[in-house]
A and B are shown apart, each in its own frame.
Chain A
Amino acid sequence: MSELIFELSHKGRCATSQIPRRSAAKITIPAHLLRQDEPRLPEVSELQVVRHFTKLSRANFSIDTQFYPLGSCTMKYNPRGVHHLAMLDGFLNHHPLSLPVNSQGYLACAYELQEILKAMTGMQGVSLTPMAGAQGEFAGVAMIRAYHRARNDAARTEILVPDAAHGTNPATAAQCGYTVREIPTDKDGNVDIESLRAAVGPQTAGIMLTNPSTLGVFEQKIEEIATIVHTAGGLLYYDGANLNAILGKVRPGDMGFDVMHINLHKTFATPHGGGGPGGGPVAVSERLVPFMPMPIVGKKDGFYDWLTEKEYPQTIGRLSAFMGNAGIILRAYMYARLLGKEGMERVAEFATLNANYLLARLKAAGFTPAYANRRASHEFIITLKTEAKELHITALDVAKRLLDYDFHSPTMYFPLLVPECLLIEPTETETKEVLDAFADALIQILHEAKTQPELVRTAPHTLPVKRLDEVKAARELDLVYREK
C-alpha cells in the first residue's frame, strides 16, 4: 500500500495558495485559552495531497469500477448527472438556517420528494430528516412508542423481530427501551405464523419486518401477519432495506404497515461514499403523522416553509442539528425525477429479472439455492454448505477469490440462519453480459476449489494486500499513527 500521508510530511512545507492572507485586526483571546502546540497534521504540498489521495482511491473497489452484487445493499448505478447538479453553487453554498424566502429552490425539491415518497409507499406522511436507515428505524420505533404513550398504553414493552432480520432491528428496539422477542422462520423462509400468534399480546408494541425478507423471498402471509399484530394492538414497521424489490409493484401502506424507512442510498441511488452518507426518510400511516420527526417541509399558497414543533406538538423531536442529509435528499429527488413514473415501475421488474436470471444460471451450474422452491425477489441466497464440507472451501474463500476476478463479493454470512451463504443482489442497472461474466467466474472458482483448493483458500492474490490479520488488529489496537 501507499505510504501514510504523515510519512510524506516535511517541516515547513505547505499548500500556500490555500492559506488565507494574514489580517491586521486584533486578537482578543486570553492566553490561557490558546493552544500552545501544533496538531499532528501533515505538512505537504498540494500536488502531494492530490497524488496521495488519488492513489488511495485506486485501491478501492466501487460501483463505478466493478460489479458489486452485495445482497441487501442495492449497489446500483449512481447517476453522475445527479451528483453534478447537486454540486451547483446555489445548493452547495446555501446555509441551513437561511430564511425560507432564500431557500425556495431547495425546499421545493424536498417538498416534492416528500410527495413522491408518499405516493410510492402508499403512506400518509413523510419526514426526510433521518440521516441513515438505522436512524429512520430509530425514528420509526420512537414514533410507535410515542403513539402508545399518547394513548396511555404503558404495558407495551416488547418489539417482535423475525430471526432473519437485519441486526439494526433488534439494536434499534433495544435503543428505544424495548425488549426484543425473536420470531422463528419456517422452512420456506416465511415468518412462522403459529409462533407469531403465540407471541403477540397486550405487551406487543409492534413488529419489525423486511419484505421481501433478508432471505430474498416475499412474505406471502403479510396480510395475516398484519391482522394478527393489529388485532393485538401492535403496529407494523417496514424495514425499507429491500424496497428495490417491490418499487412500483406493491406498496408497504397497502400491505398494512404503519411506519417504514426508505434507504435513499439503496433504492434512490445516492452514492454510498465508502460507508455513508445515507438517507433514511420515514413514511407513516395516518395515525402516526402527529409524531413525525422535525422539521418537515410544508407548502402554503405556493410558498415552501419549515414545519416544526409549532405545527406538530406531539413530534418525537429532532434527529439532526439541521434537516438531515439535505444533499442526499436533493440527489434522491433528482433520481426520482429522472426515473419518473414509468421508470420507477420498471425498477422492481428488472431487479427481479436480473436476480432470477443469475440464480437460474448458478442453479444450472450446480450451486445450491437456500430456498430452492421459492421465487427469488431482487436478491437470492446460495449456500456453500456442501462445498465447505467436501472441499474445505468456505463462503469467505469464494468471496475473496471473486475479488481476483475483479468482482466485488456478495454479502457473506448474512442472514445468519443460512450456513456458508452468499446473498447476491445484482440490481436492475447491470447488463446481461456482466451477469454472465459473474456466473462464469463463480463456476470457474468452484472448479478451482476442486482442482487447486489452495489457490482459493489463500485468495485474493491480485489486490494491494493479501488476507489481513484481523485478530492482530483487534488484539493490538493500532488506531492512530505515531512516529517511531
Chain B
Amino acid sequence: MNSVPKKLQYSKTHEWVRKDDDILTVGITDHAQTMLGDLVYVELPEPESSLESGQECAVVESVKAAADIYSPVSGEVIEINEALFETPQLINDDPYGKGWLFRVRPYENDSPHLLNSEQYSKQVASEAH
C-alpha cells in the first residue's frame, strides 16, 4: 500500500501540496510514482514564471509513460527542485521529501480546492476498480 501522509493535501490529478506560511510546495504522490515506474526525466516550470490554477506546468517521464503535472493554484514559481534534472530517481525514492517538484507563492484570493489524505486515499481506491 502506498503512503498518503495525513499532514499533506492532495489534488485529484495525484499531486500533493504542503503549505508552509504562504508558500506551497508541490510534488507527486507515492501512488503516482508507483504507477509511472522508474522516472528518467523531469521538466519543471521556469522560476519566476506565473502559473494559473490547473495549468500544465511540469512533466515527469518514465520509459513507458509521461505524465503532466498541473498547478494546484494560480501563483508565482519561486523555486524548483534542480536536483531532479540530474537525479529524477529522487521522486521514486522519496516522493514527499527530496522528490518535491516546485514551490509556488499563490496570488491573493486564490485558495486551492484540494483533498485531505482520507479523501485522496478513497479516490485512489476507487480508481483501482
- Residue numbers in A under 8 Å from B89 (CB-CB): 475
Q: How far is the CB of A182 from chain B (nearest CB, A)?
A: 15
Residue B63 at the chain A interface, CB threshold 8 Å: yes
- Residue numbers in B under 8 Å from A88 (CB-CB): none
- Residue numbers in B under 8 Å from A475 (CB-CB): 40, 88-89
Residue of chain A at shortest CB distance from B86: A475
Number of CB contacts from chain A to chain B under 8 A: 13
Residue B38 at the chain A interface, CB threshold 8 Å: yes
Residue A465 at the chain B interface, CB threshold 8 Å: no
Q: How far is the CB of B35 from chain A (nearest CB, A)?
A: 13
- Residue numbers in B under 8 Å from A364 (CB-CB): none
- Residue numbers in B under 8 Å from A470 (CB-CB): 63
A474 to B62, CA, bound (A): 8
- Residue numbers in A under 8 Å from B88 (CB-CB): 475
B-contact 0/1 string along A467-484, CB 8 Å cutoff? 000110111000000000
A-contact 0/1 string along B24-67, CB 8 Å cutoff? 00000000000000101100000000000000000001110000
A473 to B61, CA, bound (A): 13
Residue of chain B at shortest CB distance from A413: B64
Which among A470, A471, A473 has the highest number of chain B CB atoms within 10 Å?
A471
Residue of chain A at shortest CB distance from B61: A474
Residue of chain A at shortest CB distance from B40: A474
A473 to B89, CA, bound (A): 14
Residue of chain B at shortest CB distance from A476: B40
A473 to B41, CA, bound (A): 12
Q: How far is the CB of A420 from chain B (nearest CB, A)?
A: 14
Q: How far is the CB of B65 from chain A (nearest CB, A)?
A: 10
Q: How far is the CB of A107 from chain B (nearest CB, A)?
A: 45
A164 to B38, CA, bound (A): 26
A475 to B86, CA, bound (A): 9
Which among B40, B41, B88, B89 has the highest number of chain A CB atoms within 10 Å?
B40
A475 to B89, CA, bound (A): 9
Residue of chain B at shortest CB distance from A396: B64
- Residue numbers in B under 8 Å from A471 (CB-CB): 38, 40, 62-63
Q: How far is the CB of A385 from chain B (nearest CB, A)?
A: 13
A-contact 0/1 string along B82-103, CB 8 Å cutoff? 0000001100000000000000
A470 to B65, CA, bound (A): 13
Q: How far is the CB of B40 from chain A (nearest CB, A)?
A: 4
- Residue numbers in A under 8 Å from B62 (CB-CB): 471
Residue of chain A at shortest CB distance from B88: A475
A470 to B88, CA, bound (A): 15
Q: How far is the CB of B62 from chain A (nearest CB, A)?
A: 8
A474 to B61, CA, bound (A): 10
A475 to B88, CA, bound (A): 8
A475 to B63, CA, bound (A): 9
Q: How far is the CB of B66 from chain A (nearest CB, A)?
A: 11
- Residue numbers in A under 8 Å from B38 (CB-CB): 471
- Residue numbers in A under 8 Å from B61 (CB-CB): 474
Residues 437 to 484 of chain A near chain B (Cβ within 8 Å): 470-471, 473-475
A423 to B95, CA, bound (A): 35
A470 to B61, CA, bound (A): 13
Q: How far is the CB of B67 from chain A (nearest CB, A)?
A: 14
- Residue numbers in B under 8 Å from A473 (CB-CB): 63
A474 to B38, CA, bound (A): 10
B-contact 0/1 string along A206-224, CB 8 Å cutoff? 0000000000000000000
A474 to B88, CA, bound (A): 11
A473 to B38, CA, bound (A): 12
A363 to B95, CA, bound (A): 43
In addition to A474-B41, A474-B61, 11 A-B residue pairs with Cβ atoms within 8 Å of each other are: A470-B63, A471-B38, A471-B40, A471-B62, A471-B63, A473-B63, A474-B40, A474-B63, A475-B40, A475-B88, A475-B89
Q: List 13 A-B contacts (CB under 8 A).
A: A470-B63, A471-B38, A471-B40, A471-B62, A471-B63, A473-B63, A474-B40, A474-B41, A474-B61, A474-B63, A475-B40, A475-B88, A475-B89
Q: Which 3 A-B pairs have the closest CB atoms?
A: A474-B40, A470-B63, A471-B38
